[in-house]
């Protein structure tokens, strides 16, 4: 048994070594890579550890494995069960389980916490080989480095080829990277609310968020982890989340849901807040409690680096490498990753079809509209069964 280091101080259930046949579903495990991981930007990262969870059983011929890749502040806990040793319901609970689209009687579902993250995988808050936290010394990571680490995990699990790789937003970037860099290992592909490269607008929103964190005096160049309780760049991380959360939702949703209504008895003319301000404060505080600012910066920079065509002759040439049966879905109200970006992917990937998720919830629609995502998963997996 080994305890997962938690940058925020919130206890996580212990990780417990590599997966073994008969492990209960949703148990947090970890994989440690023996050799240092060579990095795209140069140098290497030693002591790489990926936390992950699994559901279902790996078939004897290992043909039923599905890889689920989370978004920026997600984690490996895709689905429950809740209970002792489990962190409660997952962020895609409606998708994974007996009788659900990723039916655990049929599929073996694997979800790693991304490299650079803070939910058990190696990130800036983790100890470096010298025993001190990585902090500012944590190297620059790209999506390709993160997928390379995930490929080592797949090797360790004996999974040569995923029946399906699925991800939304940042998870979609990594899913795409899997399909382009390792087409022989990616049987089917579901890309949600993602793009071929970080766009100018996405880089611009990220810039404001990176400034919010790094301009917080408690950031200390990234070396705040041992400054003591409550002394991290919480204000900056909260501000970054407020900015980001607005880009994740839609203007009509905010209008219809909150309008100009004051929060409870608060009076906005006398220092009080409107409901929508209270809502943003809530999401800021919630993220600060569960997420590390250093990881937020590392992962945001990794997303900024996303450009599937880099070093591959451009986007068109890179996308043409994909052999997976592919669905690419956009959300009609997504202002951060507008549907034209998914249409571009669908046009460039040889065996891809484009789908629209209808939702008032903007970019977060891929997390909220679980039934529509489930229908897409079913469409892809039923296609697999039919040899389509
Ligand atoms: C369990 C976890 O920690 S999640 C970990 C993994 N997370 C992820 O993978 C993705 C990150 N999560 C997210 O981005 C978001 O949580 C989402 C997208 C899933 C949430 O989407 P939705 O279900 O639409 O939630 P919504 O945006 O409406 O927010 C609901 C919250 O706002 C709160 N809220 C609503 N109105 C107000 C208001 N006026 N003032 C204060 N709080 C408010 C609700 O009480 C609720 O609080 P809770 O989440 O603590 O229960
Ligand atoms: N709300 C999601 C969306 C990011 O794409 C998250 O925080 O991970």
Percent of the chain at pLDDT above 70?
Answer: 90
Cβ atoms 176, 79 nearer than 8 A: no
| pLDDT tens digits along 151-193 | 999 999 999 999 999 999 999 999 999 999 999 999 999 999 9
Cβ atoms 284, 242 nearer than 8 A: yes
| pLDDT tens digits along 195-244 | 999 999 999 999 999 999 999 999 999 999 998 877 899 999 999 999 99
- C-alpha 364 to ligand 2 mean position (Å): 7
| pLDDT tens digits along 371-382 | 999 999 999 998
> Does ipTM surpass 0.85 in this model?
yes
User: What amino acid positions are annotated as catalytic residues?
Assistant: 169, 334, 363
Position 89 scores a pLDDT of: 85
Q: Which helix (H) or strand (E) holds 51?
A: strand 49-55
Q: Give nearest CA residue, ligand 1 atom 2.
A: 91
Alpha-carbon 178 to chain mean position: 14
As a whole number of angstroms, the distance between CA 303 and CA 74 comes to 14
- 73 in ligand 2 pocket by Cβ < 6 Å? yes
Q: What is the pTM of this model?
A: 0.94
Query: For ligand 1, what atom is nearest to the CA of residue 275?
Result: 39
The ligand 1 site (C-beta within 6 Å) comprises: 70-71, 73-75, 91, 263, 275, 278-279, 282, 286, 290, 361, 364, 367-368
Long-range pairs for 93-96: beta carbons < 8 A, 24 or more residues apart: 93/370, 94/370, 94/371, 94/374, 95/370, 95/373, 95/374, 95/377, 96/55, 96/68
| Interval 50-79 mean pLDDT | 95
Ligand at shortest distance from the CA of 244 = 2
What's the helix, strand, coil split of the chain in %, to 5?
40, 15, 45
Q: Give nearest CA residue, ligand 1 atom 35.
A: 279
Strands 65-69 and 108-112: parallel
Position 229 scores a pLDDT of: 79
């Amino acid at each position: 048994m080994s305890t997962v280091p938690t940058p925020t101080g919130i206890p996580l259930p212990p990780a417990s070594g590599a997966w073994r046949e008969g492990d209960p579903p949703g148990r947090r495990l970890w994989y440690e890579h023996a050799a240092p991981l060579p990095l795209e930007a140069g140098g290497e990262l030693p002591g790489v550890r990926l936390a992950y969870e699994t559901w279902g059983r790996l078939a004897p011929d290992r043909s039923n494995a599905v890889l689920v890749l989370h978004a920026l502040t997600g984690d490996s806990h895709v689905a429950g069960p809740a209970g002792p040793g489990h962190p409660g319901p997952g962020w895609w609970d409606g998708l994974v389980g007996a009788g659900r689209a990723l039916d655990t009687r049929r599929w073996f579902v694997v979800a790693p916490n991304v490299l650079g993250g803070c939910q058990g995988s190696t990130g800036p808050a983790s100890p470096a080989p010298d025993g001190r936290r990585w902090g500012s010394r944590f190297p620059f990571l790209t999506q390709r480095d993160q997928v390379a680490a995930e490929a080592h995990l797949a090797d360790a699990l004996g999974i040569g080829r995923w029946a399906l790789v699925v991800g939304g937003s940042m998870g979609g970037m990594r899913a795409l990277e899997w399909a382009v860099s390792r087409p022989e290992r990616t049987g089917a592909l579901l890309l949600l609310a993602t793009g071929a490269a970080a766009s100018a607008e996405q880089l611009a929103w990220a810039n404001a968020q990176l400034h919010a964190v790094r301009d917080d005096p408690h950031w200390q160049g990234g070396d705040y982890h041992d400054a003591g309780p409550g002394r991290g760049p919480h204000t900056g991380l909260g501000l970054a989340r407020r900015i980001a959360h607005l880009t994740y939702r839609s203007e009509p949703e905010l209008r219809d849901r909150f309008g100009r209504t004051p929060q409870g008895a608060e009076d906005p003319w006398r220092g009080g807040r409107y409901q929508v301000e209270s809502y943003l404060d809530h999401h800021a505080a919630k993220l600060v409690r569960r997420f590390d600012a250093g990881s937020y910066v590392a992962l945001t920079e990794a997303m900024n680096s996303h450009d599937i065509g880099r070093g591959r002759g451009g986007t068109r040439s890179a996308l043409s490498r994909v052999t997976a049966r592919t669905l690419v879905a956009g959300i009609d109200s997504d202002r951060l990753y507008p549907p034209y970006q998914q249409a571009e992917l669908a046009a460039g990937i040889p065996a891809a079809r484009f789908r629209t998720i209808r939702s008032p919830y903007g970019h977060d629609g891929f997390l909220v509209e679980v039934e529509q995502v489930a229908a897409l998963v079913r469409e892809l997996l039923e296609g697999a069964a039919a040899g389509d």
